Amino acid sequence: MKFKVIIGVLCLLLILAVSCQSPQSIEFARYYSSGSLLYQSHCQNCHGAKGEGLNALIPPLTDTVFIKNNIHQLPCLVKNGLRGKLTINKKDFTEKMPSNDLAPIEIANVLTYVANSFGNKRGTIDVVQVGNDLNNCK
């Protein structure tokens, strides 16, 4: 009897938790799951399934400080690629990252995935922000 009550209460709590998910977190979940698929098809071959990179050839995506400090430069980086020296996790990288033919919403999705995986926790990178950042590409 007691057991049934506990299960019942737990179920209620679960339903509450699900239905009370804020609009933001639903949006986040949508961005994140689309981003995860985009990551697999566009980035994973180089940066790895765990964002581990490839030795000194391709940087890992685990440098949370770099991701945090460059969050507004990342949309341009993903769109236009990059060639030059980068210091990630105290190691230098000089190989070339190719450009990507992705729409702003896709860039927002994939960056939301990256910025909330591999140790990063930056919340939703929304499409409006990405649009603004893209207008300021150098």
Partner 1 sequence: MSRLILAIGVILLWSACKFNSTTSNSLPIYGNRQAVTRVVNGQTVIDTLYQTIPPFKLVNQYGDSISNNDLNGKIYVADFFFTSCPSICPVMQRNMLNVYNTYKNTPDVKILSYTIDPKYDSVKVLKKYADKLGVTGNMWWFIQGKKDDTYRLAEKSYLVAVSQDTTVPGGYVHQGYFVLVDKQKRVRGSYDGTNAQQVSQLIDDVKTLKAEPAPGANQ
Chain contacts with ligand HEC (rule: CB under 6 A): 42-43, 45-47, 58-61, 63, 66-67, 74, 77-78, 82-84, 86, 88, 93-98, 100, 110, 114
Spatial distance between the Cα atoms of 133 and 37, rounded to a whole number of angstroms: 23
Answer with the entry of ligand HEC, partner 1, none that 78 interacts with (C-beta below 5 to 8 A by kind). Answer: ligand HEC
Residue 24: Cβ within 10 Å count: 11
Q: C-alpha angle with apex 108: 43 to 36, nearest 5 degrees?
A: 45
* Residue 105 binds which entry of partner 1, ligand HEC, none, CB below 5-8 Å type-dependent: none
Choosing from 21, 24, 33, 45, the residue that interacts with partner 1 (CB under 8 A) is 45
Task: Select 77 or 127, whichever has its Cβ closest to ligand HEC.
Answer: 77
**Binding partner of 127, given ligand HEC, partner 1, none, CB within 5-8 angstroms per partner class:** none
Q: Kindly tell me which of 28 and 66 has the beta carbon lying closer to ligand HEC.
A: 66
10 binds partner 1 per the rule CB under 8 A: no
* CA neighbor of 37 nearest in space, from 117, 96, 97: 117
CA 56 to chain centre: 22
Contacts of 74 (CB under 8 A, 6+ apart): 67, 111, 114, 115, 125, 133
- State the minimum distance, in angstroms, from the CB of residue 62 to partner 1: 16
